[in-house]
Amino acid sequence: MKLLKYTIYRLLQAIPVLIGISVITFLLANLGPGDPVSLMLQGQEHSEELVRAIERRYGLDRPLHERYVTYMAGLLRGDLGQSIHYQRPVAALMMDRIGPTLLLVLSAYAFALATAIPLGIVAADRRNEPTDHASRIAALVGVSTPSFWIGIVLILVFAVKLGWLPSSGLYYPWRPPSSYPGIDGHLELYYESARHLLLPMIALGTLQMATIMRVERTQMIESLQGEYVKLARAYGVPERTILRKHAFQVAQLPIITIVGLNLSTAIGGAVLTETVFNINGMGQLFVEAIQQNDYQLVMGVTMVLGTLFVVGVVITDISYAYVDPRVTYGERE
């Protein structure tokens, strides 16, 4: 019950954050240069009456504060508005694109965790040895290199030079195999999906991997120097058991924090990664919305991604109690 109360409290705290995101995004989208109606009618013969009719249809002829209140009222009803450029509901456009983005971000996190945690443990266990130095250099390079540059290098090496992997697009494993020409059966679809996902997953997950590995190494070194570890060694507990049962669990609390807070970095990196690898996800949709000055679509994508980030932070907070029994919510000492 206390955990439920804390969850509700944290979600209520997120409301002002989302309102702030909506205000800033709305102002930036509407006060920026360019006219969405002119972009929509670009290359077509049109009259002034047609322009005025389109502005009335989308409420562009009203004052800015009225448009914001109208948008927020629709948002409370679950209506994200109508895209000016695509002339489709924003919610429908995002439902078509959110799957590839979630697949990319989740697979990048899976790659980061699967590689960073073992490497961080090995580096801590072999501190100041060649293995430790190599992992620290790799982490420094990973933190310093932008994801889009890594993606371009991966394309040049593994797609253009060696021809091992495809350089663009994505096969969606939730779709029927018949939707892709030349795909026979689910196993082949899963295989092609993994091949197309591998390069963008590595490009997006390298930064997360490097960050998590550095924190894991630092926390494991601190845990291995704890008094309880010294006591376990004095009792003759095997070193592998000490790493697995005594030091590992204590070191994971900061990792959960990093994973939750880096969600915004992963979502931001997905925008560039999807552009580099030509993946039709939320990131590419967001870029197209900005290019067309489609403020309704910009608002919708921003609010959904902001909500995902806030929910991820709340889940991170709640996860503390499951990793560290000393963490409690709503209890007094």
37/93: higher pLDDT: 93
8 A C-beta contact, residue 109 and residue 61 = no
Please name which of 204, 172, 168 lies closest in space to residue 189, comparing C-alpha atoms.
172
- In this predicted structure, the answer to whether residue 135 has a pLDDT above a threshold of 70 is yes
Closest to 149 in 3D by CA, of 209, 207, 213: 207
Query: pTM of the entire structure?
Result: 0.77
Structure-model confidence comparison of residues 261 and 323, the more confident one: 261
pLDDT band at 153 (very low <50, low <70, confident <90, very high): very high
Which amino acid, 207?
Answer: L
Question: Which CATH architecture describes the domain 94-323?
Answer: Orthogonal Bundle (1.10)
Look at residue 323 and tell me whether its pLDDT is greater than 80: no
Q: Which has more confidence, 201 or 319?
A: 201
* For residue 160, pLDDT beyond 50: yes
Reported as a pLDDT band with limits 50, 70 and 90, residue 157 is very high
The label of the residue with tokens 């091949």 reads 195
Q: Which amino acid is at 256?
A: I
Q: Where in the chain is the domain with CATH 1.10.3720.10?
A: 94-323
Alpha-helical regions (H) of the chain: 2-31, 36-40, 48-57, 64-76, 90-125, 130-144, 147-154, 186-224, 227-234, 239-241, 253-261, 263-276, 282-291, 295-323
Please state, for a pLDDT cut of 70, what percent of the chain lies above it. Answer: 87
Candidate from 44-48, 77-81, 228-232, 279-283 with smallest mean pLDDT:
44-48
Is 183 strand, coil or helix? Answer: coil
pLDDT value at residue 37: 67
pLDDT at position 33 is 66
pLDDT tens readout for residues 228-259? 777 777 877 777 777 777 677 777 777 777 77
Nearest Cα to 250, choosing from 327, 182, 174?
A: 327
Cβ-contact 217, 135 below 8 angstroms: yes
List the structure tokens of 323: 């990793």
67 token code pair: 């448009």
- Who has greater pLDDT, 102 or 260? 102
DSSP character for 235? T
209-226: pLDDT as tens digits: 888 888 888 888 887 777
CB atoms within 10 A of CB 172: 16
Asked if pLDDT for residue 331 goes beyond 60, the answer is no
Q: Which two tokens stand for residue 147?
A: 């994801």
